[in-house]
Structure 1
Amino acid sequence: MSLQHTKQFGSWEFLCSHSPSLAPCNLFFNQIQSLNSSDTILYNSTSFSLVSNNLQSAGVGVRPTCFIRRAGHEGGLGNIAQIVATALCFVFSLILFAAAKRRIAAVGRVEFATLLGLWALIDVFSLLTTGSFLQQGSDYIVWLTSIQMGLRSAWFWSLIVNGLNSTQLIEDGTPPSILSLWVGGIAFFVGTGYIAVDTAFNWSGNLPPSNPPEYLLSNGLFVLLLLWPMIAVFIYSLLMTYVIFFLLKESIPAFWFSLSLLSFMLSQAALFALGHTICDGTNSRIDGAFVATLLEAISLGLLFAGWRSITEDSWYGYDGPQVPVYPKQEPLSNFK
């Protein structure tokens, strides 16, 4: 296999072999396993020389240079650091969700709470698909991964809608805003989920394995899972720059949003660049996935702080609808 081809647009070969705990690789594992030559393709890796039962012990990845052994096999505990980090981040997302729901008068409250709720769901599926305690090549890990990828794709659409709400080009809480949020989100969820499932099972025959199959080519997944998030973050950054500097003429919110963007970028760097290094350095006990998960949670918290700083709200003192108070009228006799 040439290095030039692994860098081809749409190829996941390098990522699935050098980035431990990358969830989309679960789809390609199932795809390759259905082939007659699957043993040669999947297990031609130095990592598998350390285990006696390749399939039962396999962690996330396709021909990985390093992987976290599946829990309960070959002495493995699963990706314990990722499991703990994802569970903590799930709780953190729920706390932010509850806080957003309580901001009664905040602009985009419903839409931003939806954003946070979606992320909490993503954390649940991420724990299942990257925790290294489900068997690779099984149908259920394919379905769980497909749902996770669909939710993640929909989340970035929700991010853009929240940006549009901040500009008031779409008034928050109105039918156009809610419909655009849900219709667009469902479209991304279904579209991404379909491509993910069909990549693994090839039901339609339209997304067969690449030739040769170890190149792991999938333009659809490459666009929706790698390029689309970057495009969405870029669009959201432009929208918030316009809101902060041209509408509000403030500088403090820019601090929160900039830190959120930086934390998100660092999380992706940790996932793709640090994963292999940490995995090797810890003798396949943990990888960089937990660092990426924690940084994404920090990014989400900073995003909430930025949203809070640009919106009006009514916090814990809110006691429900208030009775209007009108000016007291003087009797007409006083004007005689």
Structure 2
Amino acid sequence: MAFKFGSFDSICGQGALPVCPLLGTSQGIEPGCYSRNVDLGGTIIFQPGACFIHIIALIMTLIMVLHIRSKYTAVGRKEIALFFYVYAVIELLCLFLDSGIIPTAHVVYPWFTAVHVGFICSIFWILLANGFVGFQFAEDGTPMSLWSLRISAFVVWGVSFFVAIATFNGYASFSYTKPMGLFIVLLVFPIVCVAIYVVSQLILVIRTLDDRWVIGDILFGVGFFTVGAVVLFAFSVTVCDAVEHYIDGLFFFVLCMLLSVMMVYKYWDSITKEDLEFAVGDKGAVWEVKECVVPSSFPPSRLASLPPRLRVFEVVALYLLTRSVSLPPSLSVPCSHLRTPTSRRRTTSLRTEEPEDLSSEEWEETSTTAPNLLEETTEATLPRDRVKATEARAASKGSTTRTHRREVFGTKKERESLLGRIGFSFFDASLPLSFFL
């Protein structure tokens, strides 16, 4: 039978689609060849090969959704996840409709088929909308992006559902003998959506991405989609006769659709990268200093006398030293009196020996002058930049640079005593002080 636009006669004559028993005549359109049935516990299962692929598709969809949800900072994560949610619903409905669990003669079969048609149109609309997420017309993941996609997909589902159920039951001048509207929403609309999606993604890859290998994912997806449609609509009877009715074109159609969906996932995964700086894991990491390396000449009483802002710097600097500097065992001691000024405080123990080379007056002078440096040079990013800014202000006030540096930082001996004899100098630190403020 020759193909005719707006008619399902030639299409249903080749492949057993769920809509075929409801079109053409009151008895539907029967395919020329279909796969053998299977008897399971007194229940006849139609299309066992296609049902097996439906189950595999549900499992693969679950795996892909879990991986998508794990990429917390990927672009369009929630939008593409909606695509796979709808695909899972379609596969579940196909499992009931193709297998005959819902008999074609039952009164609810047209309604389930109409819901199935609505979801098919919705998933292609969602695919089309995901093609424009990369262009950032609306920021992905925002309520505007998500709800506009959901509402528009629901509208498409509602329109296609009405066209399908009206065609099946003959409502509002629709007829199952002339299913032109159903032909457009079920066959023409998906092809248009796929074409627009492919063109938009090619433009996106060529104009914005350096990697051209992802074009292969697009081409493979289009290839699988095309092969599945051609095998179902043109060679289903030939395949069925060749394998003695064990499988038919519907088996290859469902398999190719699964591979096309997997290529959509593969393409999205290839063009989106996780931003590790802001990535969130399933289990939050607990940052805890179990053992702190502090020189024996750093008593807790002196730490308590420091102003809070300088105390933050001392705590962080000492913690960084414990993670980057290997010290002899003689200098490694637990620190229980050292508390971090955050909501999560960890207590350790410190030695209580007094320093031999730093008097109480010198300590007080250092603890009172160092915060002035932190307050006066907040615009500097590196310690040496802070020194230059301090020198400029000191020169403008009429004092010598060396004298002002000594007043602010203390002598070299005092600085080394303050942070311990471990090769770390407060003055020559390479980390930006602004990080600790």
Structure 1 and Structure 2 fold alike (TM over 0.5): yes
Equivalent runs, 1:216-231 vs 2, <5 Å: 217-231=178-192
Kindly indicate whether the alpha-carbon contact (under 8 Å) linking 1:27 and 1:145 is maintained by their aligned counterparts in 2: no
- In the other structure, the counterpart of 1:10 is 6
Task: Give the match's secondary structure for 2:23.
Answer: helix
- In 2, Cα distance between equivalents of 1:128 and 1:206: 29
Q: How far apart are the structure 1 equivalents of 2:100 and 2:128?
A: 32
Q: Which residue of 2 aligns with 1:318?
A: 281
Q: Offset at 1:157?
A: 0.7
* Pair 191,26 (structure 1): closer, same or farther in 2 beyond 3 Å: farther
- Matching of residue 168 in structure 1 with residue 136 in structure 2: yes
1:154 corresponding residue in structure 2: 122
- Correspondence 1:271 to 2:222: no
1:48 aligns with none
Q: Quick one: distance in 1 between partners of 2:3 and 2:223? A: 26
Asked if 2 retains the 8 angstrom alpha-carbon contact of 1:89 and 1:123, the reply is yes
Deviations 1:157-190 (A, max 9, x none): 1011111111112221123311221111111111
Shift of 1:321: 7.5
TM-score, normalisation: structure 1: 0.79
Number of residue equivalences? 295
SS at 1:206 equivalent: coil
Specify the alignment match of 1:308 in structure 2.
269
Tell me the equivalent position of 2:18.
23
- Overall identity of the aligned pairs, in %: 24
> After the TM superposition, which residues 186-197 of structure 1 pair with which residues of structure 2 at under 5 Å, given as runs?
186-197=154-165
Task: For 1:250-261, list aligned pairs within 5 A.
Answer: 250-261=211-222
Is contact 2:46-2:98 (8 Å) kept? Answer: no
Amino acid at match of 1:255: G
Question: Offset of 1:135 from its aligned partner?
Answer: 2.5
* Counterpart amino acid of residue 20 in structure 2: C
Deviations 1:23-42 (A, max 9, x none): 2213317xx32xxxxxxxx4
> One-letter code of the match for 2:106?
S
One-letter code aligned to 1:80: P
Distance 1:331 1:108 in 2: 46
Contact 2:6/2:179, CA 8 A, preserved across alignment: yes
Matches within 5 A, 1:1-336: 7-19=3-15, 21-28=16-23, 32-33=25-26, 42=27, 62-68=29-35, 72=39, 77-202=45-170, 204-210=171-177, 217-313=178-274, 318-319=281-282, 331-332=371-372, 336=408
- 5+ unaligned residues in a row in structure 2: which ranges? 287-311, 318-369, 374-386, 388-404, 409-437
Question: Which residue type is aligned with residue 28 of structure 1?
Answer: L
Partners of 1:109 and 1:205 lie apart in 2 by: 40
SS in 2 for 1:318: coil
Whole-angstrom distance in 2 between the partners of 1:298 and 1:277: 22
CA distance, structure 2, for counterparts of residue 305 and residue 184 of structure 1:
25
* Cα offsets for 1:16-58 (capped at 9, x unmatched): 1122x212213317xx32xxxxxxxx4xxxxxxxxxxxxxxxx
C-alpha distance in 1, partners of 2:167/2:34? 22
* More helix by percentage: 1
Alignment partner, residue 352 of structure 2 = none
- Work out which structure has the larger RCO, using CA pairs closer than 8 Å and 6 or more positions apart in sequence: 1
SS in 2 for 1:149: helix
TM-superposed deviation, 1:77: 4.6
Consecutive unaligned residues of structure 1, counting only runs of 5 or more, are 34-41, 43-60, 211-216
- Residue 139 of structure 1 aligns to a residue whose secondary structure is coil
Gap change, CA 1:16 and 1:154, over 3 Å in 2: same
Q: Which amino acid aligns with 1:64?
A: P
- Measure, in 1, the Cα distance between the counterparts of 2:88 and 2:68: 13
How high is the TM-score relative to the length of structure 2?
0.61
CA distance in 1 between counterparts of 2:127 and 2:222 reads 13
Equivalent position amino acid for 2:167 in 1: T
Q: Distance in 1 between matches of 2:138 and 2:371?
A: 47
Q: CA offset at residue 265 of structure 1?
A: 1.4
The code of the aligned residue for 1:167 comes to: F
Q: Which moved more, 1:252-261 or 1:82-91?
A: 252-261
Structure showing greater radius of gyration is 2
Cα deviation for residue 317 of structure 1 reads 7.1
Cα offset for 1:198?
1.4
Q: Is the 8 A contact 2:205 2:215 kept in 1?
A: yes
How far apart, in 1, do the equivalents of 2:43 and 2:68 lie? Answer: 43
The DSSP-based 3-state class of the residue aligned with 2:108 is: helix
3-state SS, counterpart of residue 235 of structure 2: helix
One-letter amino acid of the structure 2 residue matched with residue 191 of structure 1? V
Contact 1:259/1:299, CA 8 A, preserved across alignment: yes
Q: CA deviation at 1:113?
A: 0.6
